Amino acid sequence: MRVSSTPLASLLVGFAAILPTTLAVFQDEAFQNDWHIPLLGPSLRESTFFHRPLLDAKASLIYTLTERNIIAALHPKDGGIVWRHQLEACASKKLARAVEGVVVAGSCGNVKAFDAVTGKLAWENRFEGGNVKDFKSAGKEDAVVVLFDDGSVRMLEGGSGIVMWEWKGLDAKDTPYSISVTSDSVLVVSVQPEKTSNNMHITSLVLESGLPAKFSRDLRSSVESVDNILSSDALMAWTEDDFRILKMVPISGGRLSGENVKIPEGVIDIEVHTDSDNVALVHYKTADKSWGTAYRWDYEYGPVMSYLDIEEKPGADSTFSISKSGGQTFFVWSFANGEAFLYGEQGQLAEYSPKFEYKGNHITNAASEVITRSDGASYAVRSFISTSAPGFKGNTHLVRNGDLEWARKESLASVSVSTFAELLDPAAEKVANELNAEGHKSIGAAYVHRLTRHVQELIEYGPAWVSGIPVRVMDAFLNKEKAEIGGKWRDFFGYRKYAIVATEEGGLAALDIGKKGEIAWESNVLPIEGEWKGALGVYEVSKGVVAVVTKGGEYLEFDAFEGTMLHREKIPGCGTIKSSSTVDGIGRKLVLAVLKCGKVMVLPSGSPLPETVFLAVQDDAGHAKGLKVASSGKPEQTWVFNPPTGEQIASISTRPAHDPIASIGKVLGDRSVMYKYINPHLISIVTADPNGSTASIHLLDSVSGAVLHSATHTGVDTSKPIVSTVSENWVVYSYYGDDTIPGKTAAKGYHLVVSEIFESEQKNDRGPLGGAQNYSALAGETGEPFVLSQSFIFPGEITSLATTTTRQGITSHEILALLPEYSSILGLPKRMLDPRRPVGRDANPGEVEEGLVKYFPVIDADPRGMLNHKRELVGIKKIVTTPALLESTSLVFAYGGDLFGTRVTPSMAFDVLAKGFSKIQLVGTIVALGVGVGFVAPMVRRKQINQRWSNS
CA distances from 384 to 367, 615, 804 (A): 5, 49, 40
Cα–Cα distance measured from residue 28 to residue 71, given in angstroms and rounded to the nearest whole number:
33
Q: Is the pLDDT of residue 476 over 90?
A: no
The H helix count followed by the E strand count for the chain is: 6, 63
Q: Is the pLDDT of residue 11 over 50?
A: no
Provide the pLDDT confidence category of residue 781 given band limits of 50, 70 and 90: low
Helix 469-477 vs helix 919-951: angle between axes, to the nearest 10 degrees?
90
Say what the pLDDT of residue 780 is: 62
**Which segment of 114-118, 404-408, 594-598 scores lowest on mean pLDDT?**
594-598
Q: Are 299 and 250 in contact (CB under 8 A)?
A: yes
Find, among 919, 656, 946, 677, the residue nearest to 813 by Cα: 656
Say what the pLDDT of residue 771 is: 62
Cα–Cα distance measured from residue 548 to residue 506, given in angstroms and rounded to the nearest whole number:
11
% residues pLDDT > 70 (the chain): 91
Say what the pLDDT of residue 181 is: 87
Say what the pLDDT of residue 833 is: 92
Average the pLDDT over 250-256 and give the result.
Answer: 66
743 CA to centre of own chain: 39
Average the pLDDT over 729-743 and give the result.
Answer: 85
Q: Is the pLDDT of residue 184 over 50?
A: yes
**Which segment of 274-278, 464-468, 472-476, 866-870 scores lowest on mean pLDDT?**
472-476
CATH for the stretch 1-30+643-768+783-917: 2.130.10
- Please report, for the chain, the start and end positions of each structural domain, with discontinuous segments joined by +: 1-30+643-768+783-917, 424-477, 918-952
**Where do the H-state alpha helices sit in 492-611?**
none
Q: To the nearest whole number, what is the mean pLDDT of the chain?
A: 86
Q: Is the pLDDT of residue 410 over 90?
A: yes
Average the pLDDT over 515-543 and give the result.
Answer: 92
| pLDDT tens sequence across 882-910 | 999 999 999 999 999 999 999 999 998 88
Dihedrals phi, psi of 313, to nearest 5 degrees: -135, 150
Q: Are 783 and 767 in contact (CB under 8 A)?
A: yes
Residues 6+ apart with CB under 8 A from 771: none
Q: Is the pLDDT of residue 526 over 70?
A: yes
Say what the pLDDT of residue 9 is: 42
| pLDDT tens sequence across 374-401 | 887 789 999 999 999 999 999 999 999 9
User: Please, is 97 exposed, middle or buried when counting C-beta atoms within 10 Å of its C-beta (0-12, 13-18, 19+)?
Assistant: buried
Helix 426-439 vs helix 443-467: angle between axes, to the nearest 10 degrees?
160
Average the pLDDT over 414-421 and give the result.
Answer: 95
Q: Is the pLDDT of residue 8 over 60?
A: no
Find, among 320, 321, 366, 314, the residue nearest to 337 by Cα: 314
Q: Is the pLDDT of residue 215 over 90?
A: no
689 CA to centre of own chain: 29
Say what the pLDDT of residue 898 is: 95
Say what the pLDDT of residue 300 is: 63
| pLDDT tens sequence across 671-708 | 899 999 988 889 999 999 988 889 999 999 888 888 99
Q: Assess whether the previous peptide bond of 604 is cis (omega < 30° from 0).
A: yes
Average the pLDDT over 427-455 and give the result.
Answer: 77
Q: What angle do CA 217, 218, 224 make, to 5 degrees?
A: 160
Say what the pLDDT of residue 480 is: 67
| Residue with the larger pLDDT of the pair 218 and 839 | 839
Average the pLDDT over 583-597 and give the result.
Answer: 87
In sequence order, what DSSP letters do the residues of 224-261 get, joined into one string?
Answer: S-GGGEEEESSEEEEEETTTTEEEEEESSSSS---EEE
Q: Is the pLDDT of residue 6 over 70?
A: no
In sequence order, what DSSP letters do the residues of 776-818 get, joined into one string?
Answer: -TTTT-----EEEEEEEEESS---EEEE---SSS-SPPEEEEE
Q: Is the pLDDT of residue 951 over 70?
A: yes
Q: Residue 176: helix, strand or coil by DSSP?
A: strand
3-state secondary structure 98-134: EECCEEEEEECCEEEEEECCCCCEEEEEECCCCCEEE
| pLDDT tens sequence across 56-72 | 888 899 999 999 999 99
First-to-final CA distance of the chain: 46
Q: Report the predicted TM-score, pTM, of the whole model to 2 decimal places.
A: 0.89
Cα–Cα distance measured from residue 686 to residue 721, given in angstroms and rounded to the nearest whole number:
11
Q: Is the pLDDT of residue 5 over 70?
A: no
Cα–Cα distance measured from residue 846 to residue 268, given in angstroms and rounded to the nearest whole number:
79
| Residue with the larger pLDDT of the pair 415 and 257 | 415
Average the pLDDT over 794-818 and give the result.
Answer: 93
Average the pLDDT over 802-809 and give the result.
Answer: 93
User: Looking at residue 838, what DSSP letter applies?
Assistant: -
Average the pLDDT over 621-630 and give the result.
Answer: 86
Q: Is the pLDDT of residue 23 over 50?
A: no
**Which segment of 3-17, 105-119, 126-140, 691-705 scores lowest on mean pLDDT?**
3-17
Residues 6+ apart with CB under 8 A from 501: 412, 415, 417, 418, 508, 509, 510, 511, 538, 895
Provide the pLDDT confidence category of residue 224 given band limits of 50, 70 and 90: confident
Q: Is the pLDDT of residue 646 over 50?
A: yes
Say what the pLDDT of residue 299 is: 65
Find, among 476, 599, 591, the residue nearest to 545 by Cα: 591
Q: Looking at mean pLDDT, say which of 302-306, 416-420, 858-862 comes out highest.
A: 416-420
Say what the pLDDT of residue 201 is: 83
Average the pLDDT over 142-161 and give the result.
Answer: 91
Q: Are 898 and 876 in contact (CB under 8 A)?
A: yes
Provide the pLDDT confidence category of residue 25 given band limits of 50, 70 and 90: very low
Average the pLDDT over 160-183 and give the result.
Answer: 88
